[in-house]
Structure 1
């Protein structure tokens, strides 16, 4: 590939990554405007935010597999076209049902774009091209994270919330057309088919749990709707374990969860996301309905933590090398929980300066958690790190839906109690949101304790030595053996067949 063509490819992928990441954050600040214009309930409003995340996470692993099998360029462009078309439908929505349906389709399109785009900038590239592609990819996502709340607030205040989605049409169409000519096609010629049973089981599980949590606020824990959804989730998790245990090419390799560090890392990733996304969603409502901030001013509140995260993420790797992975992640979570608690203590009349300590702590704590994926992957054999990284990414995305749903259940229950005691709607919402954010802080603290108990003190050096030949294979065997030492009754590591011929471990390992 010529240097010019590679540059155009990076441009297309950067714009696509920016658009799909921005859609995850730009909506939150505009939620009050959407609720007011469409006259929808808080439960439906939660689905406007969570439906995108839920479908995105449910389909992303399958999207990566389809990109390998059917062509990365093809799946990337199909996903981007679907995302762009759904953005137009969301912008023209006149009801909650139409908007939620459009968000679902957007999430499915984004789930095809992200893994295919990441593969296009890394697979088959030189080291220099991989480095450039990774910087562009991460930079576009960080920029979307920083600008999302600000852009959403400005559009909601000065234009209309519909333009949050309609602005995707022109750049989406342009990069699809450009991508047809500049992106080279690539695929894994040795790849097997898509794990359809695993995809269906995992998607059903995630959907059922999130639906149940959202409906608790309206129907209560003992209602038939909620109990039925939890029952469906139980069936789905049993089916998922069964099909992934015996699938020739499992979408989720259950062997990974025998590693204490990996299992703990997934739990920490989810609990961090529960707190971060819960703050992002309910703080937007709190700032506008309690502190009476404008949408633009509300969006500007989330800019400092985004800048802090971008600036301190490189520092967090240095801190991890100095004091260890376990302490870095755990103390980062404690700082984040402290920031959430400070945010929960805000009262009517507080201004921008009163917000800064809390949002700064959230930013610093989140930055210290950025290296988590790298730390956890040191406990997994190198040849399987791609699949393991996908599981961690799904955990991060799913945590957004869970955070909004779990904290929403707490807020709704507390608000009903406050209203029953005779308090006004504004005071009830203020107290309920404070309690919800404090409970979210408690969940983040639980994540810190799990990090202390499960994560390695320092990353294993064997993972970074990268020798070649028999010595390299021996190091991998030793590393995999160490990850299974924590499992009772496991005496030795399983024989690891080649990546494309992965099979369930021997009975002695089970």
Structure 2
């Protein structure tokens, strides 16, 4: 079984960094209490990590092509471990957010290389199996995070959701040193610093504008300035990539409608499938009174369905048209979110189960096909760039999804509180969305507690309903775009000077 050790090394790192995208969700109420943080802080604890991943993946992919994918992967593991330790020791919300960003830097170095390492380690049917297993790990990790986070938070405290990364990092480093071969593109050039900076500013300014928009006012000067800064930075990024001598992303790849469709599908998949989990977790714990473990277990249907479907899809659907598997997966993700929109003021966790199951099947169906399709669209020497681009789209989708859905969720809560003629609806909404529903109800006068409890349940249900409706729309939009764009075969350009350690470059399948 030595031939599967590279897959083991890559899967360990991928599982760990993707678990850390969602492992925080069930720990947020405990974090908010321990660090005295508000709703914006909670969003940034999630988004600082996702944004660092999204902003740096393309640059990391370029560095991996030049200096070696194995080398960058190992460096990412070490940095990730150090940042995880710092997160666990953080004393304030600001420190935790900063260390989460550093964690994302290490995660970017790891994630940018995973697909390329698999692409150069396996061929033919073994490559299909490897991507299937990797896809199963991807699908399970993002949804399994809340379960693991709940167990660690309830039994050991929220800081252990970060400490647990340390032994996993050590194991991943050991297996990588033993089994993974080095690969690089000898024609790759240096880091595209202007492109990296402009893309980071564009993504960060847009996310900040979305997170602060409700509090500052969507038409305020500050909010409009942030949107304008994001647009200008994005324009600079495009110009730098078009005219630079060593761009971190070749814009010519976007002329391929199949590759563009895969990127859009990845962006919308993460936004539609995972970004609302933080708000579901707040509802389960803060309003329904579940503990971290119970809240995590309430999301098990998604993780189980994603894992099983990814494993089956990787083995049974190898060679199936990506437009159908990815498109169908996104349609199921949209349908799953819409099923969860049936939530009401008196609902509890069972109302989420059908939708989570459907969403998990969609994630499991789309993920492995998406990875293989992205690699099929480019020549082997561009595998690092293609992997970085797809993973950038997915993490950016998660970061933007958290920001967008957070605005939708909070607006829904505020609207319902105002309809209930409660005093100070905005302040009450801020407290509720920071996970303090139990404290508010506990401090209420006995004769007012019943009416306030009913209003809190109704407000949270309204916010979640709007969130699920938007998520459903994003999933269905992704399905339509994939079916329209990923339709024609793609013949990647022949590989030139690709160092894999093999006598010949591995064959790359075509998109169908």
Shorter-normalised TM range? 0.7 to 0.9
Residue of structure 1 equivalent to 2:203:
206
Q: TM-score, normalised by structure 1?
A: 0.80
2:413 matched to 1:415? yes
Which one of the candidate residues 450, 460, 465 is aligned to 2:481? 450
Q: Does the 8 Å CA contact 1:77/1:176 hold for their aligned counterparts?
A: yes
Q: What pairs with 1:296-335 in structure 2 (closer than 5 Å)?
A: 296-313=293-310, 316=313, 325-335=322-332
Cα shift at 1:216:
0.8
Q: Does the 8 Å CA contact 1:214/1:409 hold for their aligned counterparts?
A: yes
Distance 1:234 1:445 in 2: 26
Task: Rate the CA distance shift 1:383–1:460 in 2: closer, same or farther, 3 A.
Answer: farther
Deviates more, 1:370-379 or 1:217-226: 370-379
- Using CA pairs below 8 Å that are at least 6 residues apart, which structure has the higher relative contact order? 2
Cα shift at 1:257:
2.2
Residue of structure 1 equivalent to 2:471:
440
Distance 1:50 1:175 in 2: 25
Cα shift at 1:428:
1.9
Residue of structure 1 equivalent to 2:215:
218
Which one of the candidate residues 171, 188, 191 is aligned to 1:191? 188
Task: Rate the CA distance shift 1:441–1:353 in 2: closer, same or farther, 3 A.
Answer: same
Q: Does the 8 Å CA contact 2:35/2:93 hold for their aligned counterparts?
A: yes
Cα shift at 1:178:
7.1
Q: What pairs with 1:223-234 in structure 2 (closer than 5 Å)?
A: 223-234=220-231
Residue of structure 2 equivalent to 1:499:
none
Q: Does the 8 Å CA contact 1:43/1:217 hold for their aligned counterparts?
A: no
Task: Rate the CA distance shift 1:376–1:123 in 2: closer, same or farther, 3 A.
Answer: closer
SS in 2 for 1:369: helix
Distance 1:312 1:380 in 2: 26
Cα shift at 1:100:
0.3
2:58 matched to 1:61? yes
Equivalent pairs counted in the alignment come to 464
Q: What pairs with 1:59-458 in structure 2 (closer than 5 Å)?
A: 59-123=56-120, 137-138=134-135, 140-142=137-139, 144-145=141-142, 147-173=144-170, 175-176=172-173, 187-313=184-310, 316=313, 325-370=322-367, 371-375=369-373, 384=382, 386-421=384-419, 422-423=421-422, 424-456=455-487
Task: Rate the CA distance shift 1:182–1:436 in 2: closer, same or farther, 3 A.
Answer: closer
Distance 2:372 2:9 in 1: 27
SS in 2 for 1:350: coil
Cα shift at 1:210:
0.8
Cα shift at 1:352:
4.6
Q: TM-score, normalised by structure 2?
A: 0.80
Task: Rate the CA distance shift 1:446–1:18 in 2: closer, same or farther, 3 A.
Answer: closer
1:201-242 deviations in Å (ceiling 9; x for gaps)? 211111111111111132111223322221211111111111
Distance 1:377 1:174 in 2: 28
Q: Does the 8 Å CA contact 1:333/1:445 hold for their aligned counterparts?
A: yes
Q: Does the 8 Å CA contact 1:291/1:348 hold for their aligned counterparts?
A: no
Cα shift at 1:319:
6.6
Structure 1: 5+ residue stretches without partners: 467-475, 484-510
Task: Rate the CA distance shift 1:319–1:11 in 2: closer, same or farther, 3 A.
Answer: closer
Q: Does the 8 Å CA contact 1:87/1:106 hold for their aligned counterparts?
A: yes
Structure 2: 5+ residue stretches without partners: 423-454, 496-507
Deviates more, 1:361-370 or 1:380-389: 380-389
Task: Rate the CA distance shift 1:334–1:388 in 2: closer, same or farther, 3 A.
Answer: same
Deviates more, 1:424-433 or 1:118-127: 118-127
SS in 1 for 2:347: coil
Cα shift at 1:80:
1.5
SS in 2 for 1:221: coil
Distance 1:211 1:96 in 2: 17
